[in-house]
Amino acid sequence: MSPIFHPFDQHVADNTEWDSPMFRLAQQQFLRAAEVMQLDENIRDRLLFPQRTLMVSFPCRRDDYANVETVFGYRVQHVLTMGPTKGGIRYHEDVNLGEVSALAMWMTWKCALMHLPYGGAKGGVRIDPHQLTRSELQRLTRRYTLEIISMIGPDKDIPAPDMGTDEQVMAWIMDTYSQQVGYSVPEIVTGKPVVLGGSLGRTEATGRGLVFLICEAANHIGLKMTESTAVVQGFGNVGSNAARLLIEQGTRVIAISDINGGVHNPKGLDLQAIHAHVAEHGQLAGFAGGDPIDNAQLLELECDILVPAAVQNQITAENASRLKCKLLAEGANGPTTLEADSILDEMGVFVLPDILGNAGGVTVSYFEWVQDTQNFTWTLAEINGRLQKVMVAAFERTLLRSQREKLNMRTAALIEGIERVAQAKLLRGLFP
Ligand code: NAD
């Protein structure tokens, strides 16, 4: 059978509803890996697109009552072969179907790479959550939950937090779902407050998992954590926790940023003072313990470890050659373009790719779901210990493949995930 699409066709998704720069990046990464591993063409073409896609529009009433806005929301399930689907919900003003679909595809490879029994999913609402009051955010979340309720379920598809959502949003989703079925269903979401069945250690799990990997990678390339410097883009859940845990390892964090820019201090930043400043002013800008720096300059600072932990498309063909780090540890999803990857390879930068780097979040989400479905709780020490084991094992599998097959870490990680999904598809067979 001739392939529907030629690998590396720049316009693979052009004629589909999912088309967007981020979905094209996800597809091209996948196609590059598929070609290297000589993936069966039928399976390759099947995995290029999400299995289920739901797009909704619904009204959101502002607090002044008179003002009602129509907002757009999405839920995408990429692969249903591996078990229930799993993936976060993003609130951001740029969210679109292509972005959510790319994130869902990456979730598939991530879960398979980590050996978690899930396919990939993702959801999103196209709003800026910072422009909403708490009550507006609650109404929006409850209505969005109801709009996608046919798609989610504790055995079907389990949401979690992503950019712009947090444990409070998860609590509202859990409550809305539970109201509909008539009893409490904590296992409908992960990343919820501990008192509602959330897991200890979930909030910081993505940052913690990333720092476990940074320690492994540093050891591999001969960096001493206590003598290293780090730069972190993003001061949200992932960035702030990664920075804190890097400092615990003895690493000097010399710059950090949020959406409005960052602060730089070559002597090392005082994270507690930054938290106090952000709590008072709502942003990093104006922090006295360092010099202001913009997000573009921050990425090009001389450092050992660079941690993009904010948004996608930050390291591109335009700026990749100016990076001065030895280790790029991706906390964000999709921070590096395909062209930038090739440049970083040539420069000899060791990359912890996103599907591995930020997999600590979904790993502890899996632990949370397991605890909820068993009605049994684990201690924080058990969770962090299990997380470390899972992260280190995935790192070792990826590194081994990259060395054995002479691949960069991203391609090796993708193949680790894709191979498992392809194997499962072949074993299940084709219906009907
Ligand atoms: P968050 O909303 O808690 O924080 C995002 C941070 O990025 C904020 O400091 C924000 O100011 C900053 N930011 C937003 N736009 C920016 C821009 N254009 N330039 C620079 N900074 C910008 O989000 P989060 O949960 O920390 O997620 C960050 C990234 O990590 C996302 O790519 C997300 O998909 C990924 N991720 C998160 C988790 C998780 O468990 N939260 C898990 C896996 C991956």
| DSSP letter for each residue of 185-214 | -GGG-SS--GGGTPPTT-TTHHHHHHHHHH
DSSP character at residue 227: G
Ligand 1 pocket, Cβ-based, cut-off 6 angstroms: 161-164, 206, 233-239, 257-259, 295, 309-311, 331-333, 358, 361
**Considering only CA atoms, which of 195, 171, 175 is closest in space to residue 184?**
175
Look up residue 97 and give its two tokens: 């179907």
DSSP character at residue 130: G
pLDDT reported for residue 16: 85
CB 281: neighbour CB atoms within 10 A? 11
DSSP character at residue 376: -
Q: Which of 86, 110, 122, 326 is catalytic?
A: 122
For ligand 1, mutation pick of 101, 238, 245 (most atoms within 8 Å of CB): 238
Task: Return the amino acid letter for 152.
Answer: I
149 class by beta-carbon count within 10 Å (0-12 exposed, 13-18 middle, 19+ buried): middle
Q: How many residues would you count in the chain? A: 432
Q: What is the mean pLDDT of each run of 10 residues along the chain (432 residues)?
A: 44 74 95 97 96 98 96 98 98 97 98 98 98 98 98 98 96 98 98 98 97 98 98 97 98 97 97 97 96 97 98 97 98 96 98 98 98 97 98 98 98 98 97 94
pLDDT reported for residue 315: 98
Task: Report d(CA 209, CA 390) in Å as an integer.
Answer: 9
Residue 122 annotated in active site: yes
The Cβ-side half-sphere exposure at 99, using a 13 Å CA radius, reads 22
For ligand 1, mutation pick of 162, 165, 387 (most atoms within 8 Å of CB): 162
Q: State the pTM of this model.
A: 0.96
Closest ligand 1 atom to 335 CA? 32
Look up residue 307 and give its two tokens: 């941690």
Give kind and range of the element (H or E) at residue 362: helix 360-374
**Considering only CA atoms, which of 156, 176, 162 is closest in space to residue 124?**
162
DSSP character at residue 250: T
Closest ligand 1 atom to 240 CA? 26
64 class by beta-carbon count within 10 Å (0-12 exposed, 13-18 middle, 19+ buried): exposed
Give me the percent of the chain exceeding a pLDDT of 70: 97
Tokens 């072969």 — which residue? Answer: 81
Closest ligand 1 atom to 334 CA? 32
Closest ligand 1 atom to 314 CA? 19
Q: Strands of 85-91's sheet, edge to edge?
A: 52-61, 68-77, 119-125, 85-91, 157-161
**Strand spans (E) along 343-400:** 350-352
3-class secondary-structure state, position 294: coil
179 CA → ligand 1 middle, Å: 30
**Considering only CA atoms, which of 90, 81, 9, 79 is closest in space to residue 47?**
79
Task: Return the amino acid letter for 127.
Answer: I
Residue 358 near residue 180 (C-beta atoms within 8 A): no
92 CA → ligand 1 middle, Å: 10
